[in-house]
Structure 1
Amino acid sequence: MLTVHHLEKSQSERIVWLCEELDIPYALKRYQREPVGKAAPADYKALHWSGTAPVITDGKVTLAESGAIIEYIVRRHGDGRLTVPPHSPEYADYLFWFHFVNGSLMPSLMMLAAEGGLAAFIGQRAHRSMAALDAHLADHTWLAGNTFTVADIMIGYPLTTRRQFYLPFDLSPYPGVGAYLQRMGDRPAYRWAMDKGDPGMPLLLA
């Protein structure tokens, strides 16, 4: 049985959402953060040597890292759904945005809460990234055109839940992103996933 080990308010929400979008059987095990410092509890850190969320177990397989887990589930359990084939005109966009999220966007957004020259430089990169994302979404329904894919699942977390950990981050300069988040929030699988993984948590969709 595929088990999603979900740490509250973490990147593992992506995996719950993915399973709901694919409508595949899975078990959900929820973990609360430590009350002081908000770190993952010891039993979560013990799941994988990385000590980070997300983590899944699937028979003898234990796997960490959002991108790797998404690829694994889509290929092993989802028949390749929610991806874009290499011959599609949207394939390059799909690859770029899927890897852009954890490779560029999240690290730069996290630096907005830091201080110093390097933080300021990377903070500027965060705003450039958001401006580029907003421009892309001005004429695309989803990141890979008109088709919802796992690239959209990847980017949901830093634009929503992760903002609870940043300094206040105003999305009003990015109307394309705001409209995109409304479309995301309208997806039944997203609502089901958030209700299961983090019941009662306000959804930052604006």
Structure 2
Amino acid sequence: MTESASTEAERTHSVVTVDLTPYRNNIALTTDKTLHRGMLNVWGNSLPAEVLPHDGLTVGGIPFRGVPGGGAEPDNIRCAGQYLALPRTTADWLHLLATSERRCEETAFVHYASGATDPEWLRVSDFLPARAHFGELLAARSDALLYPHHRQENLGGRLWAVRVPVTRREPVCGLRLPDNPALHVFAVSLECVR
């Protein structure tokens, strides 16, 4: 066995989920009784709360923390340039559970413990039914879209699992989200390979 093959066999893979509770500022998951609280877009649409399990979700082998749904409290981050503190760990990818009103291509900034900051693309497809424009994985979907006063069957919504690369081989410490209110982040996980 060569040295590189031995090194590959010894690598460990782990995922760290991030608690977004302090950053959540928007409601996008509602019930028939809380339709009026939905703010997935300017028309007050929302997705049925059952789209995301409260106890977590795994997409493409990556676990994400559960999201509070039902319209009683914020369940996502409507992006407005927030800085998210991340666990200080060496990561290879940042995985986001996200959706967008219309697809978007924005710049997010990965912050490192050394003080370095790198701009990285954050590409997210539309929440309205369509295929993944940027090759993301479909994380969840609904068969209905909720409006402030009614439930529209046969017009569902989509949530996507997207990746942001971590290019430096040093610990990350934060992520600066884009300033785009059409972009919504529900969960973040860090994938680490050592």
* Structure-1-length-normalised TM-score: 0.25
Give the strand-richer structure, 1 or 2. 2
Query: Relative contact order (alpha carbons < 8 A, sep ≥ 6): 1 or 2 greater?
Result: 2
Q: Which has the larger share of helix?
A: 1
Task: Name the TM-score, length of structure 2 as normaliser.
Answer: 0.27
